[in-house]
Structure 1
Amino acid sequence: MIFNESSLELPNPPGSNGSNHLYIGRFAPSPTGPLHFGSLVAALASYLDAKSKTGTWLIRIEDLDPPRESVGAAEIILEQLQTLGFVWDGEVLYQSSRLEAYETSLQQLNAQGLCFCCNCTRPRIQALGTVYDGHCRANKNILERSEQHAIRIQTANQTIRFGDLIQGKHHQNIELDVGDFVIKRKDNLFAYQLAVVVDDAFQNVTDVVRGFDLIDSTARQIYLQQQLFLPTPRYAHFPVATNTAGEKLSKQQHASGINVSRSSECLLQAMKFLGLNVDPVLTGEPPKVLMNWAISQWDIQNVPKLATISGNWI
């Protein structure tokens, strides 16, 4: 569990108080299907925060889980973004091309004695609840790992604190609240936590703007950054869009893909979701006009400080 604290000293964002700090943000969708309203909000929040600070906005396709991916989804997502008026910088990075880098980082952690093989069964893990108990910590020789063993990183009994630019000050003791977590799965796929840390550093990302559903991952990612001697970016977690039943919009919940023939309408709804005071005169304006207006009006402090917002979304 992530704990919120009332007071907070936040780092100055790039470009504030005369600062010329470089800003590099990113949008990192998984190619499980086309963009829906929730993923549009994620793209828009990260885009506006980057562009309002004359920063760089990158796209990373998180294609590390083939069983969950849809053929052609990555191309569809990129086409949707272009139609909606997004302009990204540089080449799109595909995580499937980065396996060697993840393995190198895993071996770096292993050299520090932090990795171990876990052969716990799914029923045992489920019985534990939310916190892994370190049952397999003695299995240190990951070089003899079989295909049935996940690799976990050993955590430490320490509190990790971070300031979230939207949600405030948070802290978490990973060992007590999460336990040793998986960095390479039993099916030999690298886990999200490791891959995202390695790639944020590789792309020199300074600011991570993403949904509140990922705030619980932040302390784990900071812990990995510390062990790998990598910089920690600023974090900002906006509310997650849910349907009227309170369920996060997703392919599993049959969320409708964005209808790009209604691009302006979709953008305006996403802008309102993120706290922008949309002038009615903007109705019907093309995406480029809407984007330029939103960039000029963006202030991350106006984003609702909520975990979720429910509604009937486009």
Structure 2
Amino acid sequence: MTQPVKCSSDLSTETRHARPYVGRFAPTPSGPLHQGSLVAALGSYLDAKAHDGLWRLRMDNLDPQRCRTDTESTIIEQLAAHGLHHDGPIIRQADRCTQYRTALRALQQQDAIYRCCCRRNTLRAGVDSGRIAEGLAGPIYPGTCRRDPPSADTQAGWRFSVPEEEIDVPDRRLGHLRQRVIETVGDPLLQRSDGVFAYHLAEVVDNAEEGITDVVRGADLAPLTPLHVAIHRSLYPDRPPPRYLHLPVLYDAEGRKLSKTNLAPPLDPRIARDNLVAAAQALGLDTTGAGGDPAALLQTWTDQWRALFLGGEQTVDPLESARQ
């Protein structure tokens, strides 16, 4: 498992960038934003503005069966209603398949990927029967096609050969995320047999090619961060990966993460101010006497964020400290 540990002084002191700060918010347009989405959007926005940086918007719309163009316009309207205006053009992953194919070829030249024809339901059945272990992102692939490659005429996807050594990723809120990915995730698919590229590959390629310096996202994705850093190191050995900061995740009354899958209600733009205050509270920010329009609130919270994350020595979790 990913093991967060206390930040040492090199992590807790703000490191100045040699490059200008560029952050991003990357929703999947499979449904409107909900309150949990707003927490992630607000946290990433405040971090960018506290660093006097850029806040990009990217649509993670790789899977055409899940994503719809009308949902994208709804998300843009929801963000604007809450005062969250992105910098520069919107990036759409569906337009970037050429870049993903180039990345796959680079990994193939390194012998860092291999073809796989195993089906998801077969792997799931292996978990149910106890033959395959459950990992942080589904069944831990047992290496079937690595040992016995499929024939050239067999439809197959591509899997990444994860490194055996431990990956250590500093997280600006949680501390160090240390993980042996081969034991916790296994070799992930980077491209499915039907040609759809996987989130893991697109996320890494987009961050690198868009010049993203900082990834601020929900803590539910923290367990996948060592994998993403491993892929980044294979593709871009001469470039540092982004810095990471994983935010608190919201749960419903039944203890389930707020998500579209769990039918979380969409954000209502008519109560944007109330939504923003609730999101700021979830981040541990001071909303006492919060007044004014969204723009005024965002400026106040940007100043708070700057004090929390750019103010010298930090505790393990500055957001938790702010609540106390």
What TM-score does the superposition give when structure 1 sets the normalisation length? 0.89
CA distance in 1, matches of 2:71, 2:255: 26
Give, in whole Å, the separation in 1 of the partners of 2:286 and 2:86.
25
Of 245-254 and 193-202, the range deviating more from structure 2? 245-254
Residue matched to 2:90: 92
Matched-pair contact (CA < 8 Å) for 1:14–1:20 = no
Secondary structure of the structure 2 residue equivalent to 1:190: coil
Q: Does 1:67 align with 2:58?
A: no
> CA separation in 2, counterparts of 1:44 and 1:153?
33
Shift of 1:70: 3.4
Identical amino acids, percent of aligned pairs: 35
Moved more, 92-101 or 19-28: 19-28
Deviations 1:173-227 (A, max 9, x none): 1112221111001221100000000000111011100001101111111111111
Residues 1-314 of structure 1 correspond to what in structure 2 (within 5 A)? 1-8=1-8, 9-10=10-11, 12-13=13-14, 21-126=19-124, 127=126, 128=132, 129-130=134-135, 131-138=140-147, 144=152, 146-147=154-155, 149-229=156-236, 230-280=239-289, 282-283=290-291, 285-298=292-305, 299-300=308-309, 302-304=318-320
**Cα shift readout 1:32-59 (whole Å, capped 9, x = no counterpart):** 1111001101100000001011011101
Range moving further from structure 2, 123-132 or 172-181: 123-132
Q: Secondary structure at the match of 1:41?
A: helix
Compute the displacement of 1:27 (Å). Answer: 0.3
Name the amino acid aligned to 1:10.
L
Secondary structure of 2:179's partner? strand
Q: Matched residues in 2 for 1:97 and 1:183: separation?
A: 17
Offset at residue 3 of structure 1 (A): 1.5
- Taking the aligned partners of 1:114 and 1:140, their CA distance within structure 2 comes to 14
- Report which stretch shifted further, 235-244 or 118-127: 118-127
- Find the residue that maps to 1:209 and give its secondary structure: strand
Q: 1:12 to 1:106 in 2, by over 3 A?
A: farther
Which ranges of structure 1 fall in alignment gaps of 5 or more residues?
306-314
SS in structure 1 opposite 2:203? helix
Runs of 5+ consecutive residues of structure 2 not aligned to the other structure:
127-131, 310-316
Q: 1:113–1:140: 8 Å Cα contact kept in structure 2? A: no
Q: CA RMSD in A?
A: 1.9
Using structure 2 for the length normalisation, give the TM-score.
0.87
2:163–2:230 contact (8 Å) kept in structure 1? no
Instruction: Report the secondary structure of 2:285's partner residue.
Output: coil
TM-aligned CA distance change 1:245 to 1:177, over 3 Å: same
Offset at residue 140 of structure 1 (A):
5.9
- Please state whether the residue corresponding to 2:320 is helix, strand or coil: coil
Cα contact 1:132–1:180 (8 A) shared by 2: yes
Structure 2 CA distance, aligned partners of 1:166 and 1:141? 43
2:72 counterpart SS class: helix
